């Protein structure tokens, strides 16, 4: 089943602009696992939809990503890119994920962020995914509220259909 979604914020710029519309495959992850690089629509943890305050489910050091989200999901939908999967160790250097000790530097689709650093790594729990927006300096994402349980993922965005000059695959 495919469903349309509208991009509500600039957190995925330059890949997806505010107001742009995407098509999301809601069936795909019933037959295959999400993978790093997928752009997905999901429910964030409760509290994340306000964009302010602490949504991490545990106390943590300021220089590490959130290891665990709150236990309740929000009813809102977010769209981000998966940057790490179950069992991966992740830190962030200058906005780039450092996964299992290797910096992912080949990300031509992001807006860089030299001040986006979380040098202390966490391990993504089983059946969880670490999400980051492509506009790293303006994205409320797993760095603040932790990896997302697989069950909170709605589906993969695979195409844009509005505006007409941005029609295409993702």
pLDDT tens profile 108-120? 999 889 989 999 9
What's 147's DSSP letter?
A: P
Quick one: pLDDT at residue 47?
80
| Interior angle at CA 46, CA 22 and CA 81, nearest 5 | 35
Catalytic residue among 35, 71, 75, 80: 80
Quick one: pLDDT at residue 71?
87
Q: What average pLDDT does this structure show over 28-46?
A: 94
pLDDT tens profile 11-20? 999 999 999 9
Residue 156 confidence class, pLDDT cut points 50, 70, 90 = very high
What's 124's DSSP letter?
A: P
Q: What average pLDDT does this structure show over 56-76?
A: 83
- Residue 83 scores a pLDDT above 70: yes
**Window from 36-40, 67-71, 97-101 with minimum mean pLDDT:** 67-71
Provide CB contacts within 8 A for 159, sequence distance 6+.
22, 23, 167, 168, 169, 170
Provide CB contacts within 8 A for 119, sequence distance 6+.
63, 64, 91, 92, 93
Quick one: pLDDT at residue 50?
67
| Closest C-alpha to 80, from 13, 33, 19 | 13
- Residue 51 scores a pLDDT above 70: no
CB 91 within 8 A of CB 120: yes
Residue 70 confidence class, pLDDT cut points 50, 70, 90 = confident
- Six token digits for residue 97: 């994920």
Locate the domains of the chain by residue range.
2-169
Q: Is 93 a catalytic residue?
A: no
Mean pLDDT score of the chain? 91
Quick one: pLDDT at residue 2?
94
| Closest C-alpha to 39, from 68, 14, 74 | 14
Quick one: pLDDT at residue 57?
79
Q: What is the CATH number of domain 2-169?
A: 2.10.109.10
Quick one: pLDDT at residue 20?
97
Q: Is 11 a catalytic residue?
A: yes
Quick one: pLDDT at residue 46?
85
């Amino acid at each position: 089943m495919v469903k349309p979604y509208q991009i509500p914020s600039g957190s995925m710029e330059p890949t997806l602009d505010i107001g742009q519309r995407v098509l999301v495959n809601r069936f795909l992850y019933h037959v295959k696992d999400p993978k790093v690089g997928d752009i997905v629509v999901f429910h964030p943890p409760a509290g994340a939809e306000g964009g302010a305050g602490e949504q991490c489910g545990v106390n943590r050091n300021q220089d590490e990503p959130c290891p665990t989200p709150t236990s309740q999901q929000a009813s809102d939908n977010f769209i981000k890119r998966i940057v790490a999967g179950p069992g991966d160790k992740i830190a962030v250097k200058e906005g780039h994920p450092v996964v299992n000790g290797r910096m992912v530097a080949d990300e031509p689709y992001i807006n860089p962020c030299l001040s986006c650093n979380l040098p202390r790594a966490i391990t993504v729990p089983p059946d969880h995914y670490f999400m980051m927006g492509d506009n790293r300096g303006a994205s409320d994402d797993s760095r603040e509220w932790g990896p997302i349980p697989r069950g909170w993922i709605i589906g993969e965005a695979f195409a844009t259909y509005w505006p007409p000059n941005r029609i295409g695959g993702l």
